[in-house]
Amino acid sequence: MPNLLSNEIRSWIGRSAPPIRLEVSRRDIIKYSIATEQTKKIHLEGDIAPPMFLFGTDKPLVSISDLAKDGLAKDVLTPPLPLKRVMAGGIRKKYFREIKAGDKLLIQKKIVDIYQKEGRSGPLIFVVYNISIQDENENVVMEITQSRINR
């Protein structure tokens, strides 16, 4: 299998996206809870956010004209890879406490690994991200490990 990972690509390991600040409002929790058909009163009243509430918050808010061809926001933390077809590789989440209305959060995304494997239809490149979510006292609220596969 030819090695597709150049030194330039490997140099992306350790790079971080600009941090995103987010203040969680009761209204946001209620809207999300209604949209995702939550049934627990604590979610529907906006006290505590449902577990998937922060999914995608590491993505920037952009206008439709700034979306890529696949409909996603262009990510500043995407290395220039020779394989262009992107697939989701998996997500692991670790919760340290519940997300509550009024929380002021800092979301930091970093590339922690890039590696290559051989798949059934050819080479695959995995990009692994760590997304750390902290409160205003710098306590970790949630850690996410996410991988993206290029083929």
Which sequence spans correspond to the domains of the chain? 7-150
Q: Going by CATH, does the domain composed of 7-150 fall within 3.40.718.10?
A: no
Q: What pLDDT digit, counting tens, does each position of 32-85 carry?
A: 999 999 999 999 999 999 989 988 787 777 888 888 777 777 778 989 999 989
- Entry pTM: 0.86
Q: What pLDDT digit, counting tens, does each position of 98-142 carry?
A: 999 999 999 999 999 999 999 998 999 999 999 999 999 999 999
DSSP letters spanning the chain: ------HHHHTTTT-BPPPEEEE--HHHHHHHHHHTT---HHHHTTSB--TTTTTTTTSPP--GGGB-TTSSBPPTT----S---EEEEEEEEEESS--BTT-EEEEEEEEEEEEEEEETTEEEEEEEEEEEEE-TTS-EEEEEEEEEEE-
